[in-house]
Amino acid sequence: MTVYSFYIFDRHAECIYKRRWLPRPTSVAGKPQTQGGPTGLGQTVRASDDDAKLVFGTVFSLRNMVRKLGGDDDNFISYTTNQYKLHYYETPTNIKFVMLTDLKSPSMRIALQQIYINLFVEYVVKNPLSPVEHPGGVGVNNELFEESLEQFVTRVLA
């Protein structure tokens, strides 16, 4: 399986961490030669910033919809398109972990939970030098966290 990208959103709906391992599939990224301007299809090429916002909007709406239909304890776990699979894990403190993988991937819910427990809490939350909140990703982008995430994704999940 392949991991495409990974996002963390904090309780203020801000993307505090994003990471991409492979270029986006062409259907998502638009055609490479059309970068920087509107395409013939009227589609605007998005910067990766916009990706994060889109992802957040999607998971936020889906999670709210799921709770409306399935009750407050219901959780949205993943969705699949023709091109990719989106996995979602949210902590009770409203930190949202999102991972995009290829279609062959099994459920990543446990993996996301592991990232939260073993990497995020250990290396970001417990780092006394990192701020409590992470506007703009401050404190999350530390070497220990990024290295371990890299290892986790490339060795454990691969």
Closer to other proteins by Cβ: residue 4 or 89: 89
Residues in touch with other proteins (CB under 8 A): 11-14, 53, 56-57, 60, 72-73, 91-95, 116-117, 120-121, 125-126, 132
**Rounded to the nearest whole angstrom, what is the least distance from the CB of residue 30 to other proteins in the complex?**
21
Closer to other proteins by Cβ: residue 54 or 156: 54
Closer to other proteins by Cβ: residue 126 or 155: 126
Closer to other proteins by Cβ: residue 74 or 147: 74
**Rounded to the nearest whole angstrom, what is the least distance from the CB of residue 13 to other proteins in the complex?**
4
What is the radius of gyration, based on Cα positions, of the chain?
Answer: 16
